Amino acid sequence: MTAADVPANATGKAAAAISRKPTRSTIADGSTRTSRTVRYVLLLLFLLFVLTPVYVVVITSFKTSSDTTAAAQWSLPQTWTLEPWRKAWDVLQPYIVRSLSLAVPAAIIASLIGSANGFVLARWRFPGANLVFAFILFGMFIPYQAVMLPLRTTFQELDVTRGIPTLLIAHVIYGIPICTLIFRNYYATVVPHEIIESARVDGAGLVQTYARIILPISISGFVVTLIWQFTSVWNDFLFALFLTQQNNGPVTLGLAALAGGQKVDYAASMAGALITSLPTLLVYIVLGRWFIGGLMAGALKG
């Protein structure tokens, strides 16, 4: 999925709502011990459903090729080996370097533009701002297939080398809508009206207000958009497929190549799937609350 798949106009507020402890009245609902046990049993069953693929991918990634027979598919490795990881790493390493050099700047640039836009749309509105808002919002939902062909032609005509630079430009442009919306909502809910008004009365212009008042309190907004953009750029496949080639593409193309050959090396494919997922998983684990904030963006009003 890509950035545009999840619309946004809320931030960490919704995430905070999830982790909010239920009110006492909800706990004191007279839920019996039996009902609690039933809930636990059901939850554990669902946990199995969610974790089964994890078990498979992890054990398979440590197996020797003779160990991946049909009969042994669900058992632990007879002998544990790092060979699949080494194999996958050898293939994926240049792709990972390219993906990093793509996702980090793409996330930063789109976030900066989104922050400035969001501030204007939330706090420095001009006549017709709503129209502009709708214009941007719709840009977030379009199926990228509808622009992909001419986009490729445009880049060819601009003579931009197909590869990471092309992809970077595309991800920045199509990342702007969601970043704008996340920041717009962030500023609409977080910044008190009075601060901006008094700054205006004092004669501060837009740039001054933005630089002195808004930017310093934007950190958690930036964390959300940076995580969001990094994850969606890292995980993007469609743009990569259309705008780059395998020998200069990002990591999703590398994984598709590794796992999609004529004779599939399952152990190496699984190790590859893990390797390519580690950066985003790490972001999720370390910055979970903000990650959720990005996810929730837009589906819920702050």
Partner 1 sequence: MHGRIRTWGPGALVLLPTVLLLGYFVYGLIAWSFNTSLTDRHTARKGPAEYVGFDNYVNLFGEERFLNSLKNLGVLTVAFIVGTLIFGLLWALLLEKGLRGEGIFRSIFLFPMAISMIASGVVWGWLLNPSQGDDARGLNRLFSILHLNVLENPWWTGGSRWTTMASIALPAVWQLSGYIMALFLAGFRGIPGELREAARVDGASEFKLYRHVLFPQLSPIALSALIILGHMSLKLFDLIYAITGPNQFRTEVPSVYMWNTLLRSDMAKAAAISIVLLAVVAVLVIPYVAYTVRQESEE
Q: Which stretch binds partner 1 (CB under 8 A): 77-85, 160-168, 218-226, 255-263?
A: 255-263
How far is 248 from 233, CA to CA, in rounded Å? Answer: 16
**Site for partner 1, residues 257 to 296, rule: CB under 8 A:** 259-260, 266, 269-270, 272-274, 276-277, 280-281, 283-284, 288, 291-292, 295-296
Task: Write out the two tokens for 211.
Answer: 């630089």
Q: Are 156 and 232 in contact (CB under 8 A)?
A: no
97 binding partner 1? (CB under 8 A):
no
Closest CB to partner 1 among 97 and 282?
282
Quickly count: other Cβ atoms within 10 Å of residue 21's Cβ. Answer: 7
Helix intervals (H) in 72-125: 83-123
Judged by DSSP in three states, 218 sits in coil
If you ran DSSP here, which 8-state letter would residue 217 be given? G
Q: Are 214 and 187 in contact (CB under 8 A)?
A: yes
For the window 168-207, what string marks contact with partner 1 as x by the rule CB under 8 A?
-----xx-xx--x-------x----------------xxx
How far is 51 from 29, CA to CA, in rounded Å? Answer: 31
93 binding partner 1? (CB under 8 A):
no
Q: What is the DSSP string of 118-129?
A: HHHHHHS--TTH
Q: Which stretch binds partner 1 (CB under 8 A): 79-87, 114-122, 191-199, 216-224?
A: 114-122
User: Residues 77, 203, 256, 265: which binds partner 1 (CB under 8 A)?
Assistant: 256
User: Residues 150, 161, 198, 211: which binds partner 1 (CB under 8 A)?
Assistant: 150
User: Residues 92, 106, 137, 223: which binds partner 1 (CB under 8 A)?
Assistant: 137
How far is 236 from 280, CA to CA, in rounded Å? Answer: 12
Shortest distance, CB of residue 86 to partner 1, whole angstroms?
Answer: 18
Give the chain's end-to-end CA distance (angstroms, integer): 24
228 binding partner 1? (CB under 8 A):
no
Q: Which stretch binds partner 1 (CB under 8 A): 89-97, 101-109, 190-198, 248-256?
A: 248-256
32 binding partner 1? (CB under 8 A):
no
Shortest distance, CB of residue 167 to partner 1, whole angstroms?
Answer: 14
